Amino acid sequence: MLKGILGPFLAVLRRDLMLAWRGRADVLVTLAFFIIVVCLFPFGVGAETNQLRAIAPGVLWVAALLSTLLSLHRLFAQDHADGTLEQLLLSPEPTVLWVTAKVSAHWIVTGLPLVLAAPGLALLFDVEQGALGVLTLSLALGSPILALLGAVGAALTLGLRGGGVLLALLVLPLFVPVLIFGAGAVDAYLGGTGATAHLLLLGGGLLGALALAPFACAAALRIAIE
């Protein structure tokens, strides 16, 4: 039974990871964009240490959010163009299963590298060690939410002309709460109140998104191929 459920999930996950590996250039662009945007800030606002330390969480979070947006339109576009999406929708397995697999693969490829790069980049801003951990943890909890919410937007704008711009307009407002609690976690830690509340909220948000977003995504994909 478990194998029957996991079979299609793993097949989609494995395929998407393999595709990402074969087209690595596309993936590296997202990470490079994240690193460059973060590095631009010290040039723009000056190298005053206290100031850099204060803006670090916000800068890293906004950069992560924009890089996520950069790769979102690719999530379903290729499969839609070559007909794979039709075949997946004709699968007797539950749609949410492979949608979750696709989003997971997408996050592993585009979100996880940002989480891993974040501590190194935060050092450029002279963020202290405890805050470094909180920042990384907030990104680790928050970036999958971005991927899940973004996937709904990507499915809704699939096949539309100018879909990329529409996608940004659609999902950026939805990203705001994640940004507030993500960047807020570090500020709360530095302010002495502790980051637990913020991180718990992010964790709750992640579970909520994980439970609901695949269903919304599946419904939007069915509409997109009609």
Partner 1 sequence: MLEANDLACLKGDRLLFRGLDLHVEAGEMLRVAGPNGVGKTSLLRILCGLAMQEYGQVRWRGLDIRRERESFHRALLYVGHLPALNDLLTPLENLRFACAATGDDPGKSACLEALARIGLGEQVDLPARVLSQGQRRRVGLARLFLSASRPFWVLDEPFTALDVAAVADLATTLSGHCEAGGTVILTTHQDAPFGKAPTVLDLAGVAC
Q: Which residues are near partner 1 by CB under 8 A?
A: 4, 7-8, 11-12, 15, 18-19, 22-23, 78-79, 81-84, 86-93, 98, 225-226
CB of 164 to partner 1, least distance (A): 21
The residue among 12 and 213 lying less far from partner 1, judged by its C-beta, is: 12
The residue among 40 and 160 lying less far from partner 1, judged by its C-beta, is: 160
CB of 188 to partner 1, least distance (A): 44
CB of 88 to partner 1, least distance (A): 6
CB of 184 to partner 1, least distance (A): 40
In DSSP notation, the chain reads: -HHHHHHHHHHHHHHHHHHHHHTHHHHHHHHHHHHHHHHHHHHHH---HHHHHHHHHHHHHHHHHHHHHHHHTHHHHHHHHHTHHHHHHT-SS-HHHHHHHHHHHHIIIIIHHHHHHHHHHHHHTT--HHHHHHHHHHHHHHHHHHHHHHHHHHHHTTT-TTHHHHHHHHHHHHHHHHHHHHHHHHHHHHHTS-SHHHHHHHHHHHHHHHHHHHHHHHHHHHHHH-
CB of 160 to partner 1, least distance (A): 15
CB of 183 to partner 1, least distance (A): 37
Q: How far apart are CA 167 and CA 165, in angstroms?
A: 5
Under 8 Å between Cβ of 28 and 110: no
The residue among 92 and 173 lying less far from partner 1, judged by its C-beta, is: 92
Q: How far apart are CA 72 and CA 180, in angstroms?
A: 21
Residue 222's Cα: distance from chain center in Å?
A: 23
The residue among 3 and 47 lying less far from partner 1, judged by its C-beta, is: 3
The residue among 46 and 92 lying less far from partner 1, judged by its C-beta, is: 92
The residue among 10 and 197 lying less far from partner 1, judged by its C-beta, is: 10
